[in-house]
Each structure stands twice: as C-alpha cells, then as structure tokens.
Structure 1
Amino acid sequence: MSLIALLQRHARLSPGRPAIFQGSAPWASYGEWAARSAALAARMRAAGLVPGDRVLLFMRNHPRYLEVLCAAWWAGLVVVPVNAKLHPRETEWIVDNAQARWGFVTADVAPAPLAGLERQIDIESPEADALLAPVNDPWAVPTAERAPDDVAWLFYTSGTTGRPKGVMLTHRNLMTMGLTYFVDVDPVAAQDAIVYAAPMSHGAGLYAIPHLMAGARHVVPLSGGVEPAELFALGTEMGGLSTFAAPTIVNRLVDHAQQAGLDHAACARAFKTIVYGGAPMYVADIRRALSVMGPRFVQIYGQGETPMVATALSRAQLTDTAHPRYLERIASVGVAQTPVQLRVADAQGDELPLGEVGEVLVRGDCVMAGYWQDPEATAAAVRDGWLFTGDVGCLDADGFLTLKDRSKDLIISGGSNIYPREVEEVLLTAPGVAEVAVVGAPDPAWGEVVVAFVALQAGAATTPETLDQHCLAQMARFKRPKHYRLVQALPKNNYGKVLKTALREQWRTSAEAVSSHC
C-alpha cells in the first residue's frame, strides 16, 4: 500500500478536521490538504513526471512541505528531502546523483537556480500557488500504483566521511516505522499535535507519518525552527505538543523551563511527549530534563538506514527510579523495538556474548532497500538482511542496548580502547561544564591521545587542571584526556549533532600551527 492512502483515508472520513497549522493559525483541513496535494500531483503528471521520478525538497520547515510530500506520493514519485543548511553546490551534487527532475525550495535556502533541475519552484511564489490551487474533486485524480517495496523517500546521509549516500526507504519501511511508533514510542489520537521544530528533512519529518495515520494535527512554528519560548507558548495554547528533538534541543527546552520557573504541570500543558535521539543523551542531561519537566520523554535509536526504528527507551523506563539498575538503563538506548531483531556482533557478523562490546546489527522491515546506485556500499552495509550500523555497543541480560560510540570515533591509545562517550559522561558531571565532546588526536608515542573540547557555563571558573582532577577521581588514568581545550561552543549541524569531524580538524590545524613555529 502506498503511503498516500493515509491522507486519503482521513480526507474521506473527516474532511473538515483541522490538519495543518502555521503557528496556531489553521492552514488546511484534511480535505483541503488532499485537494491541494491531488492538484499538484495531477499537474506534475501532466508536465511529464512519471512514477519513480525524483523530486527535491530543499526548504526550511513550512506547511507546504507536507502538501508537496503527499502530492509526490499521490503521483507515485520519490521525495528527496535535503538538509536546508547544505551549500547549494552540495545540493547540486545530490540533484545530479539522484537525477531529480523538479525541486521545491524556499528562497532563503535556494536563492538561485540549482543546476540540474528541469524546474525549480519557490513554494512561496505565485507559481506554487497555481500548482497547489485545489481541485474540486481530489478523488478524480488517479492514485499512482506503488508496491510496498517501491522507494518513497531517498535520504542522503550527512557525508561526514566523504560523499553522501542515498538511502532508499520504501513505502514498507516507512509504514513499519509509523506503526511501530504507536507500539513502542507513544500512542497518538486525532486530538494530538506534532510540532515540527527540528528539520522536516530528517526524523521530525518522518514522524509526520504516525501522526498522519492517527489523523492528528501538524504544526509548523512561525519561526520555522527551535525557539523554546515560542514552542512552550504554542503548546500551552494548542494543547500539549509532541515533537522530535536532538539532545541539544532538549537541553534548550529544559533551560527555558528552568529559567521561566515552569513546574511539571506547566510543562505538561505545553508538551505531551518529547522524543529524543540522533546523538548521545548523557545521563546528567536526561536526569535534569526529567527533574525540570517531568515524565515527558522517550528515547529512540535508529539511523537513516533504519529510520527511527532500532531501539526505544520508554517513558516508564526513564521514570522507574526504583529499579536497581536505573542509572545503567537511562544511560542505554533501551530495548529492541517490536519489528526488529537486534544483536551485537564481531567483524564477521557472529553474535557476541552478553556484555561484550561489538558492532550493533539490526534486521527487519524497517531496514533500507539499499544505497541509491551503490551496490558495493549496499553489500558492505547489509549482509544476510542484517544492517551493520557502524555503532559500537553491548547488550545486557534484559535486552537493553548501551551504545559506546560510532566505530570511527573509538580511540585506541597505547593499545587500549577508549570510548569517548564514557569520558564525556564523566566530564559533564564536573562543576561549570555545559557541553563536552571528546575526540582522538594522532600521537607518535601512543598512536592516539584523548582530547576534550569543553564549553563552560556562563561565569564558570573551571580550568583544565580542575577538569583533570575531576577525571582522575572518577576514571582510569589511561582514559583521561591528555589535552583540554576550553571553547565558547561546540560546532553542530542544524539538527543538533556535534560535528566531531570539525573538532578533529580544529585540533589538526592548531597542532600544525604550533609545529610550524617550533
């Protein structure tokens, strides 16, 4: 079944039900949404686009994102959602690789024509108004037949280690993800609302699917992004919102709640559920979040290659403080979600005993169809149905998965393995520390040494010497950082992940500068 059936179902059952909002202002009912998406689908088809063609979405968060998304599926097309922070040249590489024919953009993101597109539409232009002008009878627009294993969403990885790869996600993959949300993440009802604060090109946009399944409301903030005061006010006005957020965004929401003196009841009026993932959530941070905002949180772990579906740490598990292994559990990413098999394996893919550290493998209907036009990369990543995630972790006897790090982030110093997250967890408990990221740096004697980049809280008098003493008191000497660099802030991408590649480059550049003056 094609994903467009989800919109069509609610447009038939409840055409007048409010569906899309810009801020708290209604944008479209379910019937209006279907009429606009059907109209665009018909016009794209009349212009020569055929099922399987790719259309680019390169825009900031906008209500029309949802309308274009569903129009593409109505016409049997494949959407190519692109990070709005990418440089146009990087986006043109994706256009060429995906052979995208049309592109839907906002002028702030793509102020000039992108090379390779047959047609580029600014979604805030009169041209877009005409393309989305609703038809009187959306059911007269035929729905393109698509099989469950046809590609629906072509997602390009961040490309931190080279050119990005196009992850082919099928209608089956995304339908599995949507249904799993109800079982393992959070139940959704028609009166609920999801707010798109994080980029819709990534996980936040994917979570449109379970909320579309439920016929819920879809809210795009007026700011188009993460403004904590706006989100709290919006939730209080519209009823508790659900959202997906990276840990750095969670921290910003918690900071606002704390500074505004909001109690648990006020936070509950603003937010029903905050699902977090996409980067490490440190124990100190989630404990503070629960203390300030109450039981609002669920953690998920997944990748672009297994979208939003691998493990989940439930609201109940995050608040079960009486459990004897509570601190270990909230440091984990939870247990396998319902439709997946999970194991920790060695380099050959053989399962390791409980407690041993190895690569995390996932199998199930959520795993991608493969990488676009890259059979070699597909064969390396998916073997016998198992996705080799590149993440390193271990399983306990109860099935909780604790991630150590990405395999590429592992530091080997003097022959000993050091996991950056373990060091980061310790440093975050030091007085005055706001954020920290740990990377490995080349060293002629040890192979690699540990380098900690630390952002301090305003007014903190913490020094590298006090940080070193803190580490020595809590971890083995060989794990502690060899170098501490105090910084104003850590570099992040637009969905909140710390860019460790940039930190390694900073360190390399500074080391070269020092050596050139020796």
Structure 2
Amino acid sequence: MNISQLLHRTALAHRERPAVFAGTQLVCDYRTLADRVARIAGHLRESCGVRSGDRVAIFSANCPQYLEALHAIHWAGAISVPVNYKLHSKELAYVLENSGARVVCVSPELHDSALDAGAAAYDLLVFGSAAWQAAVNDGNPLAMEDKRPDDVASLFYTSGTTGRPKGVMQTHRNLLATTMAYFTDVDDVQMHDAMVYAAPMSHGAGLYNYAHMLRGAKHVVPVSGGFDPAELVELAASIGHLSLFAAPTMVHRLVDHIRRSRADVDGFKTIVYGGGPMYVEDLRNALDTMGQKFVQIYGQGECPMTITALAREQIADAAHPRWAERIASVGKAHASVEVRVVDTDDRQVPVGELGEVIVRGDAVMAGYWANEAATHSTLRNGWLHTGDVASMDADGFLTLRDRSKDVIISGGSNIYPREVEEVLLLHPQISEVAVVGQRDADWGEVVIAFLVTGEGARPDDAELDALCLDHIARFKRPKSYRFVDALPKNSYGKVLKTELRNWLVKAD
C-alpha cells in the first residue's frame, strides 16, 4: 500500500474540506491538494525521469509546498529523502551522494545553499519556480504507483553525532504503523482539528501529517516557517483545535510566553513532546499554565515516533501515588510494538534495573541504506537495539536515563546526566542545563555542567553544590559549572552534547 493512499482516500471522500493553510490563509482544499500532488508526480516522472524506487530529496524549511512535494514523491513510487535544512553544505552533499538522489526539491531561499553542496549535478525543482508552477497548473496527473508494504518509502538521515549520518530505511508499512499508533496511543483526530508544523517537517513533526491527512484535518504552516510562541498563540485563537509536536525546549519557551502574556490557551488541543528530556519541573509548570493538553512520545528515526507514549490521562493523574515517577518516564510501549530492557547478552533485566532499550514491531525500520554493517549491528535477532539506557517498572512504564554514549563513568561508577540535570533545574535561576563527562586522569571522567541562567543574580558554585548534595550522591556532583549564553542545539531543539564535549576539548 502506497502511504499516499491516505491523501487519495480523503480527497475522494471530503473533496472540499480545507487542507493546507499558510498561517490563517487557506492554500487549498483536499481535492486541489490531491490534484497538485498527482501533477507534480507526473512532472517528476515525465520531465525528471523519476522511476519507482528512485530517491528524491527535499531540502526546504517548512512551507505548504513541502507537503505537496512529499506526497508527490510517494505518489510516483519514489523514495523521499527529507533533509535537515540547517545542514552544512558538506553534510548536504554527503546525503545527496549517499542516497543517490535523482532530484532535489528545494525552497527558493535555500537554492544557493543547495548549489554550494553540488546540487547542480542533480535535477533541481525549486518551489514556486516556473517549472513548479507549470507542473502544478498544467502538468499531466500521474496515476498513483502501486507499492508493497515493505517497499522503502523514505530515507531519514540520522544526525551523525557518532560518525557519518546513516540513512534509515522507513517502509510504507513503517509509516502506516506510525500513523495508526498516533490514534491508539497519542490522540484521536477529528476533521475540525489542525496540525501546525512549528518543528521541522523533515523530522518527526512531518510524520504526523499522515494521521491528519487520513482524517481530513487541517495542515497549518506558520508564516514564520518555524517556532514562534506568539504566532502559535495567535493561530490557536484564530484556527482552534490546534495540535503540534514540539521538543521540550520549545514547550518551555511556549509556556514561558503564555505565562508572561497571560494568553488564552483554549485554542490548543494537544501538544506532543519528545526528542529530548522533559524535566519534571518544566512539565509541572506546563500543566499549571496550559492544563491537560500534553502527551509524550519516545521514538527514534529507526522506529519513528513509536516506541513508547505517556498518555495525557497519565500525565494529568496527579492523584496517583506514583505520579511523580510516571511523569518522569516516557510512558508505556505503543500498542504496535514490543519493548524490553536487556543486558549486554540481550537477556531481559529485572524490574527496575538498568539496561538497553530494544524494540520490535511494524514501525521498526528495514535497516540502513547501503550500510549492512550498521544494520547488522543495530537489528539483531529481530529487535532494534536503540542504544538508550533505561529501566522499566512493574507497570510497564519506561524511564530513560541517557543514551549509552552519554553515560559518565567516574571512578568506576555510572552517572546518568539527566539525574544531575533534574536537580540543577530545581534552582529558580537556572533555565537550561546540560551535563556531560570530561576525561580525567584520576577518575576516568568527571561531571561538567553547562548552565543557562534566567533573570537575576547568577548562583555561585557553593550554592549549586549544596543543591546537589541535598538530592544526589556526592560522587554525582559536578566538578565544574560552566555558565553559557545558550546551549548548542540542532534544528529540532535537541541539545548537542557532542558539541559540548568538543568545547571542553578545545578549552583544555
């Protein structure tokens, strides 16, 4: 089944339903959207020579044409390659070469960047160009290409923080399983709902388009093309029933804006957060400010958005005796997958003990593109080995500690950065924190905390030491506190701990 069948199905049943918005401005209904998609698919086939299984990259910030291009690629039976639009030209060049892209769809403002990456060697299709407009208005619509469930639909390139990015092969079955998991474990979608793309459409936020496509809901691209708290508040008020995916840092900023402006939040329906740790204090503030609108998901590109979920009912159930522990978790396994915590021999560890998270099910990738060694290392005995360290309680709630590569081993003891970060965020003057390990001749590694402060006096080391000693063991206390103006983050708002470790190396 071609994943774009979801669009085709809705366009037949609900042709005049509003589909895509640029801010509050309606761009097209579902009938028009499907027609444009079929015509762009025809252009890819007839003018660009794209055949079933060919790769077509999208190098673009969020815009309405992104959805058209994505579905046109699938419609034509090709494989989409969504590229982070903030990549360096050398990184983009690697993705294009590794994927063997035949065509690059690009937004006008990124055209020169694409050329710097050598995209002139590929067919370029620029959004809004004469060729694009000719395809949309006068192109020959292509009949949807038939695809098998296990055919590759998309190549999602990992961030490459541990080496060269790897192309995750997401199949049509994977994308459909992710879509169904949204309904079973995240949120139900109605026609009057609206999905706003405030986070990059090249990543997890874009994957939620399929669930909203299936139900004939609205798709809203902010005029800013990204995350702006004031703009989101205005969209919620004008469009209503607004849902979005956001990294925890984005939630923090949105909540802070709403608190300061005392904005009305009735127009927000659901905020799905994930992609990094949501600290307990931040979640408490979000609930106090916006109410029961939050759902957490945990996933990876290798099992997109679909490993565990913490439902809004569980987040809102403050009367539960273990509520504080549960909201610090990432919830329970999605209905479509199995999740275990295992030791180094892949044996399931006892309840409450730490181990590696592994997962299997229809949402798990087919493997890495042109990288058999990495595939065999990650997919073993039918299970995806995530590299994440966690524990699972008796009720099936999974609590992440850290990526295995981020665990700090000091004097033979494991220290999980998130535990230290949670404590430091209890200080009222600390707005953001990231903890990493630094090599040390005596201890192997020592704990270093990078901190961003809010308004007011900056706390001194003694004050922070005392805070830590009140909550965690002495050996987990940071050896050094480094105050910075901002933490380095990727386009999705995730803190780049590899970059922080690089800062330490350069400072030595």
TM-score tier, shorter chain, comes to over 0.9
For the pair 1:485 / 2:486, whether they are aligned, the reply is no
Instruction: Give the match's secondary structure for 1:101.
Output: strand
Which residue number corresponds to residue 6 of structure 1?
6
* Rounded Cα–Cα distance in structure 2 between residues aligned with 1:101 and 1:225: 28
Any conservation in 1 of the 2:192–2:241 contact (CA below 8 Å)? no
For the pair 1:445 / 2:412, whether they are aligned, the reply is no
Question: Per-residue displacement from partner, 1:427-474 (whole Å, max 9, x unpaired)?
Answer: 000131100000000000000000000111122331122111111111
Describe how 1:255-334 pairs up with structure 2 within 5 A. 255-262=256-263, 266-269=264-267, 271-334=268-331
Letter of the 1:44 counterpart = L
Instruction: Give the match's secondary structure for 1:267.
Output: coil
How large is the RMSD of aligned CA atoms in angstroms?
A: 1.1
Which residue number corresponds to residue 211 of structure 1?
212
Aligned residues between the structures: 504
Q: Among residues 369, 375, 378, which one is paired with 2:375 in the alignment?
A: 378
Which residue number corresponds to residue 177 of structure 1?
178
Which residue number corresponds to residue 115 of structure 1?
118
* Rounded Cα–Cα distance in structure 2 between residues aligned with 1:458 and 1:78: 48
Q: Among residues 324, 345, 348, which one is paired with 1:348 in the alignment?
A: 345
Which residue number corresponds to residue 70 of structure 2?
69
Letter of the 1:489 counterpart = A
* Rounded Cα–Cα distance in structure 2 between residues aligned with 1:355 and 1:14: 49
Q: Among residues 329, 332, 339, which one is paired with 1:335 in the alignment?
A: 332
Any conservation in 2 of the 1:32–1:134 contact (CA below 8 Å)? no
Instruction: Give the match's secondary structure for 1:27.
Output: strand
Any conservation in 2 of the 1:282–1:331 contact (CA below 8 Å)? yes
Any conservation in 2 of the 1:244–1:275 contact (CA below 8 Å)? yes
Report the CA distance between 1:107 and its aligned residue.
Answer: 2.9
Report the CA distance between 1:109 and its aligned residue.
Answer: 2.6
Letter of the 1:115 counterpart = G
Any conservation in 2 of the 1:54–1:102 contact (CA below 8 Å)? yes
* Rounded Cα–Cα distance in structure 1 between residues aligned with 2:136 and 2:112: 21
Any conservation in 2 of the 1:85–1:109 contact (CA below 8 Å)? no
Which residue number corresponds to residue 54 of structure 2?
53
Which residue number corresponds to residue 168 of structure 2?
167
Describe how 1:355-374 pairs up with structure 2 within 5 A. 355-374=352-371
Percent of aligned pairs sharing the same letter: 55
Any conservation in 2 of the 1:268–1:296 contact (CA below 8 Å)? no
Any conservation in 2 of the 1:421–1:438 contact (CA below 8 Å)? yes
Which residue number corresponds to residue 514 of structure 1?
none
Question: Per-residue displacement from partner, 1:75-122 (whole Å, max 9, x unpaired)?
Answer: 101000000100122101100000001001123234152425421122
Instruction: Give the match's secondary structure for 2:195.
Output: strand
Instruction: Give the match's secondary structure for 1:285.
Output: helix
Letter of the 2:269 counterpart = K
Report the CA distance between 1:134 and its aligned residue.
Answer: 5.5
Instruction: Give the match's secondary structure for 1:132.
Output: helix
Letter of the 1:368 counterpart = M
* Rounded Cα–Cα distance in structure 2 between residues aligned with 1:348 and 1:212: 42
For the pair 1:130 / 2:128, whether they are aligned, the reply is no
Report the CA distance between 1:127 and its aligned residue.
Answer: 2.1
Any conservation in 1 of the 2:236–2:265 contact (CA below 8 Å)? no
* Rounded Cα–Cα distance in structure 1 between residues aligned with 2:357 and 2:484: 33
* Rounded Cα–Cα distance in structure 2 between residues aligned with 1:142 and 1:107: 28
Instruction: Give me the TM-score of the superposition, normalised by structure 2.
Output: 0.98
* Rounded Cα–Cα distance in structure 1 between residues aligned with 2:243 and 2:10: 20
* Rounded Cα–Cα distance in structure 2 between residues aligned with 1:274 and 1:155: 23
Instruction: Give the match's secondary structure for 2:499.
Output: helix
Report the CA distance between 1:12 and its aligned residue.
Answer: 1.1
For the pair 1:457 / 2:461, whether they are aligned, the reply is no
Q: Which runs of 5+ in 1 are unaligned?
A: 512-518
More off after superposition, 467-476 vs 188-197: 467-476
